[in-house]
Amino acid sequence: MPVKPQRTSVYYPAGAAILILILVAATGCLNSIPATPPAAPAPGPALPFQEHYAPGEVTRLNAAALEKANSSLNGIATIPPGQRTFDNTVLAFDRIESDYADTVAPLIFMGYVNPDPAIAAEGMKAAESAGIFDTMVYTRRDLYDAMKDQVPRTPEETRLSNVTLQAFLDNGLGLPDDRLSRVRAMKTNLSVLESQYSANLNQDNSTVLFTAAELDGVPAASLATFTPSSPGSYIVTTKYPDYIAVMTNANSSETRKKMSAAYLNIQAGPNTALLEQAIVLRGQIARESGYRTWADYQLHGRMAVNASTVMTFLTTLKEPLLEKNRVEMADLLRIKKGIDPSATVVNPWDVVYLENIRLKQEYAYNEEEVREYFPLDTVLSGLFSLYGPLFGIRFDEVKDTPVWSPEVRVFRVGNLTDNQTIAYLYFDFYPRDGKYSGAAAPVITQGRMVNGSYTIPVALVMANFRPPSGERPSLLTMDDMTTLFHETGHALHGVLTRAPYGTLSGLNVQPDFIETPSQTLDEWVWDPQVLESLSGRYTNRSEKIPPALLGKVIAARNVNTGSYYSSQLAYALEDMRFHTADGPVNTTEVWFRTYREIRGMEPLAGTHQPASFGQLMGGYDAGYYGYLWSKVYALNINDKFRQDGMTNRTVGMKYRQEILAPGFMQDGNVLLKNFLGRDPGVDALYRYLGLNVSAAASKTN
């Protein structure tokens, strides 16, 4: 079975549609950017947000936030019609929603990172109540009526009014009261299902017991991070670093099969049921709202517009990717026959292992050799040195700031021009019990105008890399570095915003645009000069990756392009098939059918991949296509950088100002045209994948 993508963004539903969509230990001075005159850090808040809570405190603070927000919203609704103004209705609504979001986001966040199970459980209950609050607010006819006739005075206010009122209509305000009531009740139930599903994943501590013999081939550095059990055996978790170490290196097919089975059965029983209930509810909500399917309902107002457009986009990719994948699988079968002459098929649990062998055979290097040149702290320092000048910012570490786990680090982001504090970034890299198992970049505090001043946004970059062991630091693979740059792209999108309104700032953009900045920045990892600058062998940081090895890494980049992107296509189609169904769905059956069709392999029997497909219960339902869709935009942006120079500050500042800063003050297609000077073409994706550009593919989106 293909590796689930670690790069993922998570929505935490909350009142202002909080969008939740990486770094540690630097040697040298991370805030030393050449050509920047020394300056004392501009003063900022000592505590960007609260990181520690006593038992019961999250619950109490969440209840207080709900009470305050509801009281304030009731105040808007009860203003006599003759006394209503744009300021005391629409602007007040944005402020109340944003205040609520900034208050509850840290509470919800505890459900995803807090090592104390009791505090984490309170955080997940806060997430559930925030989802319910969101539904209740945007189905209130009295609030809609109070705002709908107010006249904006500026283009900015017009944008805020249009987006706000449309959000109410999207939630059923155009329906008769009886139908609106049914939609409200179903959405409330849906929020509970989604929260329970996510909580199950966050608290999952599944493990597999292996003997040392079964783990033959797994590097000593990985074995050192496993928990010893009885003499000669290890407890291996289903967290990403453990999983990928076994799947990539274990010589035993049975070991890899066993590991894959455990990974693909995380929370299989409860989460399969929760997802299937959610799919039915979503379909009912869509039909009650006047849409044929949940996909059509969700896609209203997005860049793709409707489910038909998405399916055309995906099916146009299908045959070219199938052919590319078939060629790659034939190569892997040839390698497998070299190991086992009787082999006739490549199994899902063989793919990553055989791809690793292919790298060794055809490109003369292995992943463990390469990662020695990329200690996490060195890569992080290089990332700061790259993006600091490019985007006109600097990064200063903030010492002695309370954090939720000892390895978490905090950085102040300041403008290069005046060193004014403009944001804070937190970084949390290593797996631990109770922590979200993927990679994400949640915004904890939104940027917005308050009383004439712009607030200081706060974001987190979170991943699950192999932790340090003994004197060996955390060492990154190429995929890890791509994840780091990807999530930092999300975080910078969140904190470099200059949108005046909290509900339209940062990551609160169209969902099929959200992956554009992240996928734009992860391309930098593969630029030879950038990659060389990020390197420094962990035993001697001045020793850069040798040119010959660097060339091999770059040359091998596309070794599994067909496999990876056909997996992405399978996930996207699985999602769309779930959410274009007319009734109940057997999610495991749909996944198996889609996997066979797109990957050309038989899935591992007895597994339930949809139970841990967290995106589908975290905001990407009928939206997973957005990774491929946004890749088109990202590649067009990258083309402009390559044309003018990957470190061209003029282009970098234009990107900051025209892609990152606006938030949702304009639609994504407007932002792209402003930056590119043209509409983006989908042929960029076909060139990137090495596929033939069909007539359909050469059209712009």
Buried b (16+ CB within 10 A) or exposed e, 180-212: bebbbebbbbbbbbbbbbbbbbbbbeebbebee
Are β-strands 453-454 and 443-445 bridged in parallel, bridged antiparallel, or unpaired?
Answer: unpaired
* Cα–Cα distance measured from residue 376 to residue 378, given in angstroms and rounded to the nearest whole number: 5
CATH superfamily for domain 57-201+270-291: Endopeptidase. Chain P; domain 1 (1.20.1050.40)
The pLDDT confidence band at residue 694, using thresholds 50, 70 and 90, is low
The pLDDT confidence band at residue 45, using thresholds 50, 70 and 90, is very low
Residue 495's CB is within 10 A of a number of other CB atoms, namely: 27
- Residue 235 sits at φ, ψ, to 5 deg, of -95, 120
SS3 640: helix
Are β-strands 421-428 and 458-462 bridged in parallel, bridged antiparallel, or unpaired?
Answer: parallel
pLDDT digits (tens, 9 = 90+) for 48-59: 788 899 999 999
Identify which has the larger pLDDT, 98 or 691: 98
SS3 131: helix
Q: Are 482 and 525 in contact (CB under 8 A)?
A: yes
One DSSP character per residue, 587-620 reads HHHHHHHHHHHHH-SPPPTT--GGGG-GGGGTT-
Q: Taking the C-alpha atoms of 399, 401, 403 and 408 in order, what is their torsion angle to the nearest 10 degrees?
A: -20
Residue 30 is predicted with a pLDDT of: 28
Residue 230 is predicted with a pLDDT of: 85
Residue 20 is predicted with a pLDDT of: 35
What's the token pair of residue 129? 């109540």
Look at residues 460, 504, 511, 430 and name the one whose alpha carbon lies nearest to residue 662. Answer: 504
- Average pLDDT in the 95-124 region? 95
DSSP 500: S
Residue 1 is predicted with a pLDDT of: 29
Say whether pLDDT at 2 is over 50. Answer: no
Look at residues 34, 576, 581, 606 and name the one whose alpha carbon lies nearest to residue 269. Answer: 606
Say whether pLDDT at 700 is over 60. Answer: no
What's the token pair of residue 225? 């991070």
Q: What share of the chain is helix, strand, coil (3-state, %, to 5)?
A: 55, 10, 35
- Average pLDDT in the 598-605 region? 96
* Cα–Cα distance measured from residue 549 to residue 543, given in angstroms and rounded to the nearest whole number: 13
pLDDT digits (tens, 9 = 90+) for 482-492: 999 999 999 99
Identify which has the larger pLDDT, 588 or 12: 588
Say whether pLDDT at 560 is over 90. Answer: no
Give bridge partners of residue 443 from the DSSP assignment. 459
Task: Compute the residue count for the chain.
Answer: 701
* Cα–Cα distance measured from residue 353 to residue 358, given in angstroms and rounded to the nearest whole number: 9
Q: Are 132 and 190 in contact (CB under 8 A)?
A: no
What Cα–Cα distance (Å) separates residue 362 from each residue in 335, 358, 565? 11, 6, 21
What's the token pair of residue 638? 């990258």
DSSP 24: -
Buried b (16+ CB within 10 A) or exposed e, 220-252: ebbbebbeeeeeebbebbbbbbbbbbbbbbbeb
* Cα–Cα distance measured from residue 581 to residue 586, given in angstroms and rounded to the nearest whole number: 10
Residue 691 is predicted with a pLDDT of: 86
Q: Where are the beta strands (DSSP E) in 238-389?
A: none
What's the token pair of residue 521? 């920045």
Residue 577 is predicted with a pLDDT of: 98
Residue 379's CB is within 10 A of a number of other CB atoms, namely: 27
Residue 49 is predicted with a pLDDT of: 80
Tell if the pTM clears 0.85, that is, is over it: yes
What's the token pair of residue 138? 């945007």
- Average pLDDT in the 284-293 region? 97
* Cα–Cα distance measured from residue 479 to residue 477, given in angstroms and rounded to the nearest whole number: 5
Say whether pLDDT at 42 is over 80. Answer: no
pLDDT digits (tens, 9 = 90+) for 161-210: 999 999 999 999 999 999 999 999 999 999 999 999 999 999 999 999 99
* Cα–Cα distance measured from residue 584 to residue 275, given in angstroms and rounded to the nearest whole number: 11
- Segment (H or E) for 486: helix 478-495
- Average pLDDT in the 630-644 region? 96
Q: Are 587 and 628 in contact (CB under 8 A)?
A: no
Task: Tell the residue number behind the tokens 């590097």, with chain if given.
Answer: 219
- Average pLDDT in the 489-498 region? 98
Residue 555 is predicted with a pLDDT of: 94
As a whole number, the mean pLDDT across the chain is 91
pLDDT digits (tens, 9 = 90+) for 331-374: 999 999 999 999 999 999 999 999 999 999 999 988 999 999 99
Residue 261 is predicted with a pLDDT of: 98
What's the token pair of residue 374? 């990329």
Residue 693 is predicted with a pLDDT of: 59
The pLDDT confidence band at residue 327, using thresholds 50, 70 and 90, is very high
Say whether pLDDT at 44 is over 70. Answer: no
What Cα–Cα distance (Å) separates residue 129 from each residue in 124, 136, 171, 314? 9, 10, 17, 35
Q: Taking the C-alpha atoms of 3, 195, 462 and 531 in order, what is their torsion angle to the nearest 10 degrees?
A: 40
* Cα–Cα distance measured from residue 220 to residue 201, given in angstroms and rounded to the nearest whole number: 29
* One-letter identity of residue 402: P
- Residue 60 sits at φ, ψ, to 5 deg, of -65, -45
Residue 13 is predicted with a pLDDT of: 29
The burial of 420, by beta-carbon neighbours within 10 Å (0-12 exposed, 13-18 middle, 19 or more buried), is given as middle
Domain ranges of the chain: 57-201+270-291, 207-264
Residue 47 is predicted with a pLDDT of: 60
Say whether pLDDT at 699 is over 70. Answer: no
One DSSP character per residue, 654-665 reads HHIIIIITTTTS
Look at residues 630, 626, 607, 628 and name the one whose alpha carbon lies nearest to residue 618. Answer: 626
Look at residues 648, 639, 646, 651 and name the one whose alpha carbon lies nearest to residue 681. Answer: 639
What's the token pair of residue 507? 């990551």
